[in-house]
Amino acid sequence: VISPVDSRVYLSREAFEIEQTQLFRKTWVFVGLKSFLRKQYDFIARTVGGLSVVIQNMDGKLVAYENSCPHKQMQLQWEMQGRRPIVCPFHGWSFDGDGKPKLIPHYDEQYKLTKEPFERACLKMFSVETIGELVFVNLSASPTPIDSQFGADLISRLIDMSAHFDDEVLQTKMTVRANWKLLLEVVRDQIHPQFLHARTLGPRRPMPVNKSRSNQFKAYSSSEVFDPASFVSPSLHELSGWGENVQEEKPQVWFDWVHRYGAQNCHQDTVLFPNTHMVCSTGGHSFSIEHYRPVSERETELELYIFLAKRKEERAADIAPIVPVILLSHAKEGQVFLDEDIAGVEGVQRGMEGGLPTLFGNYETENFRVRAKFAELYKAHGLGEVK
Ligand code: FES
Ligand SMILES: [Fe+2]
């Protein structure tokens, strides 16, 4: 089967702009963890659909606003995360949790605005939702309900899973010279580990045994044959989902000191469309989140979060001193695989420049479905026949 989109959509600025404005500014996008936002004035600033967006705790409520002052468009928060009221560094205007100006210093003597523009001088606010410990924003003026994007099954699974998240998080960021969509395609590709990760995993690694997969994220079995003619375009909630693979784990001493998620030795992948990949590894004792933020059609910012399952209160004294060491060793181990995946997608990106068609086998149905959804998106927004 030939890809429903051609490689142009991994190379063109026009396709990139459509993704930014029609996908990232109109859907629920993961931005971070609630544990970063527990206290008054805690904030995170992230780029969503090309805009800098701040999510901040204002009197216990999470609010989201465009990181741009209504006076001269100065960025209000300059760090990626921190704890600071909403005060503009340029001329000191401050804002409340509704985005309204609280204080404009020297207002009477220096500004002399009429009442009306003063009242309009509001931050641009966006919608925020949380699913368990995960925080999402939606930049649309009339966002779709978040459950229609992720589906009830996945949402209850995320709530359950994230109740097991520990608050101590190792964060790191890197630049990938490839289109963000390729990073998610490699996550859904079950054959590549035998080859791309052969040096790390050993060359004769058997195919992983699928334990269970969400309905929304189904892979075709080898007895079914995928037929593009009878293909029905997936709805948005069918592009997110999870898969579980059986994986033997070497027990570690700290496993007993945390609240394990699930009871089996599984490696669990969860994809939150459009751009987030969550992994539950070491049989439910630790987690990681990879967030792929598009920078341009050829560049992606990858942010990585690594954390353990929630520590048990009664073992807090034992585990606290070793958490940073465990997280660092996870990060080091994970980086080996991540570097191989990054080298892989960067190789694909370079290979795409010539514009040859891409082939899809049966095992890649998930990626085919996602590309078909993108084909619709581009077509609906004037990129013309992309195939
Ligand atoms: S630009 Fe923000 S107060 Fe002037
Ligand atoms: Fe990989």
213 versus 250: the higher-pLDDT residue is: 250
The rounded percent of the chain whose pLDDT value lies above 70 is: 91
Q: Which two tokens stand for residue 235?
A: 């709805």
Ligand 2: centre distance to CA 336 (Å): 10
Q: Residue 160: pLDDT band by 50, 70, 90 thresholds?
A: very high
For 270-313, write each residue's pLDDT tens digit: 999 999 999 998 999 999 999 999 999 999 999 999 999 999 99
**What's the 197 CA to ligand 2 centre distance in angstroms?**
7
User: Token digits for 272?
Assistant: 């939150």
Higher pLDDT, 229 or 171: 171
CB of 350 shorter than 6 A to ligand 1: no
Task: List beta partners, residue 45.
Answer: 54
Torsion of CA 274, 129, 42, 60, to 10 degrees: -170
Q: Give the confidence band of 123 by pLDDT, cuts at 50, 70, 90.
A: very high
Q: What is the DSSP letter of 177?
A: S
Q: What strand order describes the sheet that includes 134-138? A: 29-33, 134-138, 125-131, 61-66, 51-58, 42-48, 81-83
pLDDT in tens, 353-376: 988 889 988 888 888 889 999 999
- b/e code 155-176 from CB counts within 10 Å (16+ = b): bebbeebbebbbebbbbeeeeb
Cα dihedral 225→227→230→235 (10° resolution):
90
**Of 66, 75, 90, best ligand 1 pocket probe by most atoms within 8 Å of the beta carbon:** 90
- State whether the beta carbon of 69 lies less than 6 angstroms from ligand 1: yes
The answer, yes or no, to whether any atom of ligand 1 lies below 6 A from the CB of 71, is: yes
Burial call 342-361: b when 16+ CB within 10 Å, e when fewer? bebbeebbeebeeeeebebe
Q: Tell me which ligand sits closest to the C-alpha of residue 186.
A: 2
Residue 107 beta carbon below 6 angstroms from any ligand 1 atom: no
pLDDT at 355: 86
Distance 250 CA to ligand 2 centre (A): 21
User: Considering the chain, what is the average pLDDT of its residues?
Assistant: 91
**Going by CA atoms, what residue is nearest to atom 1 of ligand 1?**
72
pTM given for the model: 0.94
In angstroms, what is the span from residue 89 Cα to ligand 1's centroid? 7
- Does ligand 1 have an atom closer than 6 angstroms to the CB of 58? no
Q: What confidence category does residue 63 fall into, taking pLDDT thresholds of 50, 70 and 90? A: very high
Ligand 1 atom nearest to 69, measured from its CA:
2
The band of 246, judged by pLDDT with boundaries at 50, 70 and 90, is confident
90 lines ligand 1 (CB under 6 A): yes
Q: At what angle do helices 365-380 and 180-187 cross, to 10 degrees?
A: 150
Report the nearest atom of ligand 1 relative to the CA of 104: 3
Answer yes or no: is pLDDT of 216 > 50.
no
State the closest ligand 1 atom to the C-alpha of 92, by its place in the atom list counted from 1: 3
